Chains A and B, each alone.
Chain A
């Protein structure tokens, strides 16, 4: 799953998600699945949680 404050989508293998800088979001596995993804961010980019 990947979700922003305005959207919530189910994603599966092969999907590519582009999250803009500053977009509050979360991503992870559904209740009955595991999930893995490659993540690419910029060096120096910081994540603020909450």
Chain B
């Protein structure tokens, strides 16, 4: 396979936000992870990905695992958002309000974009 590049990549500083939640957490009657996705979209966040964990524990130190149906009702959920710093800044206050239990981390990343030809 031969691919002919039309442009050189450029790099843009960005942030990766990870939000660690429990699957059973809700916000205004909806699953919290779904509510966060909707708000992120409304605020113009370019994209978000939800991963479902199979085992873990969090701030409450309560274990959940898919191995035992008895404690599988609140499996970990991780939402990843990668955006430019300003967009993330703008979204954080709302995010803070929505996440009553959980963890939010932010790391620096470089977003790779297509440069001019």
Partners in one complex: no
